[in-house]
Amino acid sequence: MLRRENAEGRVTNLRFMHKPARAQANSELERRVGTVRRRHVLYVKGYDPRGAETYYELFQRSCDRFRKAWSVELTLDPFEIDSDDLAHWSLTTRSASWQVATRYDFLRLERHIRADTDGPTARQIGRGLGWLIDDLVSGTMLRIFRASWRFGVHLLWIQALLVIWLALAAAIGLAAAFVVSGSFGQPLALTIATGLTAAAVTLFALKPLAHRWYVNQITSCWATLRRFGRGQPTWLDDTIEAGARRLVAAAAANDTDELVLVGHSTGSVIAAAIMARALALDPDLGRRGARLVLLTLGAVMPAVALHPAAKRMRDIIERLAGEPTVAWIECQSRKDVMNFEGFDPVDGVGVHVEKRHNPLLWSVRFKDMVSPAYYQRLRWNFFRMHFQYISAGDRPTAHDYMLLIAGPVALADWATHHKQLTLEFISGDITQSTCTSTHAGASRHQ
């Protein structure tokens, strides 16, 4: 048997998969697995201009899928805007044998990201070209390709779209200038003005298409991440400070069994920095009270750290890799082109820690999470595939996001032992599952 002890001291036995009942009594398998009744999550999204309300709606849809896949009752409360930096909602999951109350804090980045992406087009293009040239000259793009060719192709595609966008505008501008000069014999000043006007019109005419293909969003993202990695001031600094103080306050409240900091995509960089800053604010964080977990999903952190000047990012990774009080779980997937599947985010970026504790690498199979028909649609939608980390599946699997943030087993133990544990204990004895959302879609401002 694998034993778990709940918050009140009771020990519950969990059956191993593929192990006869007698073999389960072997003392070698008598490990203690922590259980959770109260969990506090701080979620850090990727570089996405959408806000808390949109992510709450995505969460509601995951709730619906979770209801269909699992025999578990789930109640989702309305979301609340707490401040310019934070929003939150709460959910309760329960079966016949367990109940978990989860508070889900949402770190609000949208106003900063919108300010980045809605800025003057000339500034955005300049930053994008600066990122492209710097990655090429510094050798960072080559390092990224060596670490993960899929991720490298993804970045190269966006850079190519940026260059094509500018090249088309320049070509049409030159063509217009040639026509005015050659056919009409206009003065040089008028020829130049005509060419520049035609180029500008083309540039702005193609901007919606560039937006649709995420050119502006991703170039702005990487321009910001490169500055952050170097230690230069960015809006990320205030966000990291706000997140770190929220994490320390949540731990000080001492009203939860597990404190989980989730970073998805670009949010993995921010979440790692938040955790490192929180440890600096409170050196005893994780040494008492709630278990402390850093969960990074589809992380882009290696692409930041592989830049030769990204000392700040590598220092953060070194701090977390050697921290025994933090359980850092790094989830990767081969089908996600926007992550570094099979890559060690510590040694792989040149960070060497003598007494290393983190991270635990968890390879995720999205194919197991969804139906074959849905997977065929999903596999060619790279951005939607990237969001599967934070979405519930329509099949019961160990890496269902709702199970990770609202399940009864301590997250670090579940990540370590999920292959040995059956999934039946999650469902318990509930035969009719429900998923209710109280005043779904409503929000309250405090």
Domain ranges of the chain: 1-34, 36-112+236-417+427-445, 116-223
In whole angstroms, give the CA distance from residue 331 to residue 329: 6
C-alpha to C-alpha distances, 2 to 17, 37, 347, nearest whole angstrom:
11, 19, 33
In whole angstroms, give the CA distance from residue 308 to residue 195: 40
In this prediction the pTM is: 0.87
Q: Pairing between strand 2-5 and 11-14?
A: antiparallel
pLDDT in tens, 91-142: 999 988 889 999 999 999 999 999 999 888 888 899 999 999 999 999 999 9
Of 142, 139, 163, nearest in space to 152 by CA? 142
Under 8 Å between Cβ of 399 and 367: no
**How many CB atoms within 10 Å of residue 137?**
9
Under 8 Å between Cβ of 403 and 27: no
Structural tokens at position 381:
């939608």
User: What amino acid is encoded at 320 in this protein?
Assistant: L
Structural tokens at position 115:
């300010």
In whole angstroms, give the CA distance from residue 62 to residue 391: 6
β-sheet with 2-5: strand ranges across: 11-14, 2-5, 32-34
Any idea which of 95-109, 176-190, 430-444 has the lowest mean pLDDT? 430-444
> In percent, how much of the chain has pLDDT > 70?
86
Enumerate the H helices of 185-323 as residue ranges: 188-212, 215-230, 236-253, 267-281, 301-305, 311-321
33 falls in which pLDDT band (50, 70, 90)?
A: low
Of 340, 342, 344, 401, nearest in space to 369 by CA? 401
CATH of segment(s) 36-112+236-417+427-445: 3.40.50
Residue found under tokens 């209710």: 436
pLDDT in tens, 414-428: 888 877 765 665 665
**How much is the pLDDT for 378?**
82
252 alpha carbon, distance to own chain's centre:
25
**How much is the pLDDT for 446?**
43
